[in-house]
Amino acid sequence: MNLLYYTSLILVIFFGGKFAMAGTVEVGVVIAFTIYVQKLFRPIQDLSEKFTIFQSAMASIERVFILLEEEESIVNAPKVNPENLKGDVVFKDVCFGYEKDEPVLRNVSFEVKAGQTIAFVGATGSGKTTIMSLLTRLFDIDQGEILIDGQSIKDYDKYFLRSRIIPVLQDVFLFSGDIRGNIALLNTDISDERIWQAAEFVNAAPFIRKFSDGLDHHVTEGGSTLSQGERQLLSFARALVHRPDILILDEATASIDTQTELLIQDAIEKVVQGRTTFVVAHRLSTIRGADNIIVMHKGAIAEMGTHNELLKKKGLYADLHRLQYASQKDNE
């Protein structure tokens, strides 16, 4: 269409200029024809652009239907239907890989009693976050067994599990809307009073009150108008207001300032009380009080114990602790 348009324009200017110089037509007629050509081709060019958009939309729709027709990989066959979870978790020789012949976890075994806090540390890619994904049954294990309250994880309704096991992630995503909707997640059973209680508990209420419209304050998609610390506090309020039985904290104190970290640490201490809590952390200072610390290395458990026990072993955990302490000294 562009080729036709410019060819027509060149012909009008060439022959119109020739006739104008010969005195056959007026210069104004040539200008008028130039404008006519532009007005003729403008809607045609718009239609051609719409056709391109239409073709792109058809390709996208095809991908959407392929996704909708994809068979569900997690078979949901609930055999037990409890109201809540106590929080006892057992991993027995769990092996898992996202691709065949590429194991991510190798014979991982550990036990967590209800109400305990267990922390996972290790290098990036050692399998820490994968364990959290298996706990919420985003993937099914290849070998071994995962038990929650003495029942296989496959005996539970996966949607029930995900409603009782709440994650607080490092990268908090906030939806376009208001603060109320981002905390309650459109659950109409959650009242404003309950939201305020959760916000007060996790130290999020002070900054919410700074907004003139409070819980009705508009939030852009991704929460770009809020700081990283404010988004993190909202994520704690979101987790608490749904009253989870098991809590997952995945790098929840990363990428924030010291003052906000103190608020979040205080929120964590309150939230984990009486709940089984799984913590994934790089900052070892945040997990000193954990009941058990598991050091992951290349998909397997390298060490296990409390903070003091692992330091005495002088293994991987002691090396990580020494490196972090040295880097903090250098920064000071």
CB 195 within 8 A of CB 241: yes
| Distance (Å, whole) CA 12 – CA 29 | 10
b/e map 277-286, b = 16+ CB within 10 Å: bbbbbbebeb
Asked whether the predicted pLDDT for residue 326 surpasses 80, the reply is no
3-class secondary structure, 294:
strand
Q: Provide the pLDDT for residue 233.
A: 86
Q: Dihedral, CA atoms, 187, 189, 194, 198, nearest 10 degrees? A: -30
| Distance (Å, whole) CA 67 – CA 192 | 37
| Distance (Å, whole) CA 119 – CA 26 | 86
Q: Return the percentage of the chain with pLDDT > 90, whole number.
A: 35
| Distance (Å, whole) CA 196 – CA 130 | 33
DSSP class of residue 83 equals S
How many Cα neighbours within 13 Å face the side chain of 301? 20
Length of the chain: 332
Q: Provide the pLDDT for residue 111.
A: 94
CB 239 within 8 A of CB 204: no
Q: What is the pLDDT of residues 89-115, one digit of tens each?
A: 999 999 999 988 888 999 999 999 999
The mean pLDDT value for 273-289 works out to 82
Q: What is the pLDDT of residues 223-249, one digit of tens each?
A: 888 888 888 888 888 988 988 899 998
The mean pLDDT value for 125-143 works out to 90
Asked whether the predicted pLDDT for residue 264 surpasses 80, the reply is no
- Of 100, 153, 155, the closest CA to residue 131 belongs to 153
Distances (CA, A) of 30 to 41, 44, 63, 275: 17, 22, 50, 83
**Strand ranges for the chain from DSSP E:** 89-96, 105-112, 117-122, 143-148, 151-152, 165-169, 177-178, 218-219, 246-250, 276-280, 292-297, 300-305
| Distance (Å, whole) CA 96 – CA 8 | 65
| Distance (Å, whole) CA 151 – CA 145 | 10
3-class secondary structure, 142:
coil
DSSP assignments along 249-303, one per residue: EESTTSS--HHHHHHHHHHHHHHTTTSEEEEE-S-GGGGTT-SEEEEEETTEEEE
CB 252 within 8 A of CB 268: yes
The structure's pTM equals 0.74
Q: Provide the pLDDT for residue 149.
A: 93
| Distance (Å, whole) CA 198 – CA 327 | 36
Q: Provide the pLDDT for residue 254.
A: 55
Q: What is the pLDDT of residues 63-85, one digit of tens each?
A: 999 988 888 788 888 888 888 89
Token pair for 110: 């550990």
Q: What is the pLDDT of residues 136-187, one digit of tens each?
A: 999 999 999 999 999 999 999 999 999 999 888 878 888 989 999 999 988 8
Token pair for 123: 């290098």
Averaged confidence pLDDT in the chain: 87
Please list the helix, strand and coil fractions of the chain in percent, rounded to the nearest 5, in that order.
50, 20, 35
* 285 vs 69 pLDDT, higher one: 69
Q: Provide the pLDDT for residue 249.
A: 87
Asked whether the predicted pLDDT for residue 292 surpasses 90, the reply is yes
Q: Provide the pLDDT for residue 256.
A: 60
Strand pairing class (143-148; 89-96): antiparallel
Asked whether the predicted pLDDT for residue 332 surpasses 70, the reply is no
Q: Provide the pLDDT for residue 295.
A: 92
Q: Provide the pLDDT for residue 252.
A: 62
Q: Provide the pLDDT for residue 328.
A: 53
